[in-house]
Amino acid sequence: MIVCSNCEVAPVASAQAGSACASCGERLIVVDTGDDLLGTTIDGRFEVLAPLGKGGMGVVYRAKQLSIGREIALKVLDRAIEKDVKAIQRFFREAKLASTLQHPNTVPVIDFGQNADGRLFLAMELINGTTLLEAINQQGAFSIARVIAVGTQLCDALEAAHDLQIVHRDLKLENVMLVAGKRDHVKVLD
């Protein structure tokens, strides 16, 4: 993985070790993260750029959808799941169902499948913002009006999912994202 030796700004995907950081001018360095997916391409379509987070089912990466050059979130499921026939079948069922969910407060599924090496993946819209947990920790308690605005959007997303017989099963502050912008726009993750 290529990173700046000085600042927190992620270098562009084509950056080379030893070159100057576009943000601060310091030297870019190579860091071995031990993650064998970084820099690889999944299903010939999604270039894995950087990890975004790890959960119970796998790792979510920032990736580039090569066909159109946009950045996406790519969830790659844990390798142990590949050995469980029922889990694989459940993944495909749930991914198909989730791809039918179209609501302003949910994260659209772009695609899903299985890479040639057997890894299961789910490609989704990349959401830029902060989790509800981070926002509360940084800003403190929300005003009543803000709680109502955020809560209403959260309920709208859950209602749309429930209408399709989808149950979230892991709703928590870390899985609710406030999209970057002037006013709160909620996206339910995971």
For the chain, count helices (H), then strands (E).
3, 11
Residue 160 CA to residue 164 CA, distance in Å, equals 7
| 170 annotated active-site | yes
Extract the tokens encoding 6: 């000085």
CB 15 within 8 A of CB 33: no
* Half-sphere exposure for 100 (CA within 13 Å, toward CB): 12
CA–CA separation, 108 vs 124, rounded Å?
Answer: 6
Q: Are 59 and 75 in contact (CB under 8 A)?
A: yes
d(CA 35, CA 37): 6
Among 84, 117, 163, 170, which one carries the catalytic annotation? 170
Q: Which residues are catalytic?
A: 170
